[in-house]
Amino acid sequence: MQREKNANLEKEGKVRRVLIVDDSVSMRQMVGYTLRQGGYEVIEAEHGADALDKLTGATVDLIITDLNMPVMDGITLIQNVRSQPAMKTKPILMLTTEGLAAKKEQGKAAGATGWLIKPFDPEKLLQTVAKVLP
Site of interaction with other proteins (CB under 8 A):
1, 3, 23-27, 29-30, 33-34, 37, 68-70, 82, 88-92, 95, 97, 99, 108, 111-115, 118-124, 130-134
- Nearest CB to other proteins, comparing residues 57 and 85: 85
Task: Give the whole-angstrom CA distance, residue 23 versus residue 48.
Answer: 9
Q: How far is the CB of 21 from other proteins (least distance, A)?
A: 14
Q: Which residues pair with 45 in a beta bridge?
A: 21
- Nearest CB to other proteins, comparing residues 15 and 133: 133
User: CB atoms < 10 A from the CB of 24, how many?
Assistant: 15
- Nearest CB to other proteins, comparing residues 3 and 14: 3
Task: Give the whole-angstrom CA distance, residue 93 versus residue 90.
Answer: 10
- Nearest CB to other proteins, comparing residues 58 and 97: 97
Strands, sheet with 114-118, edge to edge from the N-terminal-most edge strand? 41-45, 17-21, 62-66, 92-97, 114-118
Q: How far is the CB of 54 from other proteins (least distance, A)?
A: 16
Task: Give the whole-angstrom CA distance, residue 24 versus residue 93.
Answer: 17
